[in-house]
Amino acid sequence: MRGAKADMPATLGNAGAVIQEAVWDDFHVSFDTFSEGFDTTPLHKGLPNDSCQCPHWGYVLKGCVRVVYADREELLRAGDAYYMEPGHNAIYQAGTETVEFSPNGPFQSSMEVAMRNVEAMRSK
């Protein structure tokens, strides 16, 4: 199975982020482009420890991501392959691009909470 960034549908294309994604069998794959800085922390409110519970594997194409865990932080830079273990929040610098792979079940569970939080922020 393969997918080109140009062929993947954009499921989010506002607020300084473009997310192009697909589901391949049990995996979620995405190309993420952040033209503005983006902090995922508010999206994970309500999950255990208010942090993402889905593991992610990926590669930073451009830019920088600060990954915050309860006990440490990691800085991911262009050219880095990464594993984000469950229990993280990510802060993307403006101009960051990544490609990421996640198990679809845990990804969808985290996204249900994230989308509820997005809706709550919009209604304020």
6 pLDDT tier (thresholds 50, 70, 90): confident
Host domain of residue 18 = 8-122
Query: Average pLDDT of 17-25?
Result: 92
Residue 70 covered by a domain: yes
15 pLDDT tier (thresholds 50, 70, 90): low
Residue 2 covered by a domain: no
Residue 1 covered by a domain: no
Q: Is the pTM of this model over 0.85?
A: yes
pLDDT in tens, 27-66: 999 999 999 999 999 999 999 999 999 999 999 999 999 9
Give the Cβ contact number of residue 122 at 10 Å. Answer: 7
Residue 104 covered by a domain: yes
**Average pLDDT of the chain to the nearest whole number:** 93
**How far, in Å, CA of 65 to CA of 54, rounded?**
17
The backbone region for 117, taken as left when phi is positive above 0, alpha when psi lies in -120 to 50, beta otherwise, is: alpha
CATH of the domain at 12: 2.60.120.10
Residue 25 covered by a domain: yes
Domain tally for the chain? 1
